[in-house]
Structure 1
Amino acid sequence: MEPNTAKRVAKVKLTLTKRTVEALEPTDKPWIAWDDKLTGFGCRVQPSGIKSFVVNYRAGDGGRKAPNKRVVVGRYGRVTPDRARRLAQELLGRVAGGGDPAGERARARALPTVGEACDEYIESGRGRAAETQRSYRRYSSLYLGDWRSRPLDAVTRIDIENRFHLITERHGAVPANQALSFLRSVYRRHCVDHEGLRNPVELWLAAGGRYHPKTRKQISSPAEVLPRWRVGIEAAVGNPVHRDLLFFGLYTGMRRGEIMPLAWDRVDLDAGLFRVEATKTGVPLELPVTRQLGEILARRRANSDAMPVNLRDWVFPSLSSRSGHVEELHAHYAKIGKVAGAKFWFHGLRNAFITVAERELMLPRSLTKRLVNHARPSDVTEGYAADWTVEQLREPAQRIADRIDELSDPEGSSVAV
């Protein structure tokens, strides 16, 4: 039977088999040959000669007022007629059960993949610290890499549960917590934009899933560990730049990622202050220079002329790093701990600084939080108070540094050169 080329869809019915599909001829307009055994199943023939199997159906209750929809099952040559018929039967079965395959595909096309959503979330946080951004990229590629091509709605609660246990087994509790917390945040923004999308991490938590409990390393009393750590740093760290960086952390309580990229154009020795742009909280930090910090900075400035010109911008330069400043100190930790006879880690310096401020000197917590740039919760009373100025911080910062000297260096010797 010749198709009616005046219409887009020709009323041709026959049993779709390999022989009959091969015999279908293209015309100057697309047309469809419908199967005479399975209602809604057909083969569309394009003017180019390409043939594709399709399913036509009415969504909803299937009445005449319901919209007419069409789904492509597969291209002939890649899918056999028998295989296409079975797929069509499955699709029509879903329609009979209230499904809408065409609508589902449209929604899937509108949804980004896990990889696209992760990349978008990372790119949107340009105010985050560089270390945080690097961590997010690591979670996306290392822990979620095999999900990156999945649409967001293809990740289930069971997937989350299994992945949490897998990351825990292979990498530990902390990476498992961090990876799922990151993915939870990625989903949150898209759950707002795409109606019906559920956050699988929140579904896992609602079903009884639990992050691993957080455990923080605790230091012994500053009076016990600080003298040991000072001896360990002076004896085990031969690189004077690294040694000064560690002492800078001791006297400020700052995170290593905030100290390492400190540049000279952010230091004003005449005014006695320095400014940190790249902080974990994203809020720039301006702090006073205490006597101890002044000695360290003066020593670094005097030695900067011996460095190559391209490294002189950094307070703590490095000949071996891509950035030009120190990026890694972990190799020293075990050596310091061995000499000190007490476990050492950089964040322990921050813990010691806070303990001295709040327990030894009984300084206000809001002041300590400002000095170490801790995220401050939304406290109504604290919100009414003006923030601490650099001049207001100068005297308590010096008191903390002096008390650290008293505890860590009872003999009163200066910081090692």
Structure 2
Amino acid sequence: MINKRYILYTRIPIQKDASGRLFCDPLWAKDIKLHLNYISNFSLCCPVVNVSSNYKLKGQEEITDYNIRQIYPLTKDEGLLSIIRNFFPNFIKVAEACSDGEIVHSGGAGWAFPLSFYLLILRPFLTFHWMIVIESSFWMLRKDEKITVRRFVEHHLYTILLKLCVKYSDARIFTQTFYKNYFLNDGERTLIAPATWVDEDHIIASETLFQKIALRKNKPLEILFPARLEVNKGVYIVFDAIKILSGLVNKPINITFMGKGVLAKECEEFSKGNYGSISVKFHEPVEYGKPFFDQLFKYDVVLVPNLAEEQPRIIFDAFSQGIAVIASDTTGIIDITENNKNIILFERGDSQSLADSLFYIIENPDKMDQLGLEALDSVKNKTHKQMHVDREFFLKNTLK
């Protein structure tokens, strides 16, 4: 158990109703609960939003009774004017929390900017053990991306400031090796801990997978593309790959787009097209947890055509169901998989390469079975709980 005063900084909001009850996203509630398993003196510094008393009806989890020592409320940024208006009040609140903490935990993401940037300003003036977690690179320019002045400035500003944050932190957790190499010249006081949200009870038994393999013979192949439907998730790559594939196959195949985002309408319209023996469907996102995993289990192949370096959690989700995955060869995906063993990787941003990989799987169903079995075996010790166990061990040995 870590007994030092621990402050977790995040942009993820907590909702507070008129009676003082506290609510947040169910996944965030789950993560807080796991922190509390090994941190006895836990506080939060995050946006607190006042809501109506019936907020529980909107699918949030109540955390009023969680053993959180204190919540330092920030004002949520909503737009440019609010960012300017909130900058100094939020900075004061961040400083207040920091002066009360012995261990402070921050990240490299969050809108409008990471709270780590505030801590960087405070670093010369306050004494604290600083742990930073780098698990996102939304700000990083992609190789295929058109460079604008705004994106150029964002990329280089984030690079400079986050490198300073990592340099002056006492413990660094990265979700992939690429991030460590990008931000650090050395590997001291670091942990590579891929982010996963899978629970042990989500992982199917090997016998269940064998039964599924036996039952799917002579049935249409079910392929799922679950994502936040936007450009950097590879939506247009999938569109083009389906068009290419439609001229190569004559077997019945179902491909489902699942998610929401700025391209959701385009995906829905695309699903109405004629692609030969390929039937394209559109599905609204399913609540993460048992409903999601029950739905995920119905599919044979999952597509992950990411363009950015980020490490999508759907990889471990699909592995937990023994599903074959076809994914782009980004650093975040390469770091947690073995090509041709538990995954098939294709060239990032190349729709022909994706179509070729899909055609290979369609023509070689035994390979799909092998990939699923290897994927299931590789996820056995990659649960969200184990991720926190690894973090606890690292913190105890690093922040002594």
TM normalised by structure 2 equals 0.29
Larger helix percent? 1
Structure having the higher strand fraction is 2
- Bigger RCO (CA 8 Å, 6+ sep): 2
Larger Rg: 1
Q: TM-score with structure 1 length normalisation?
A: 0.28
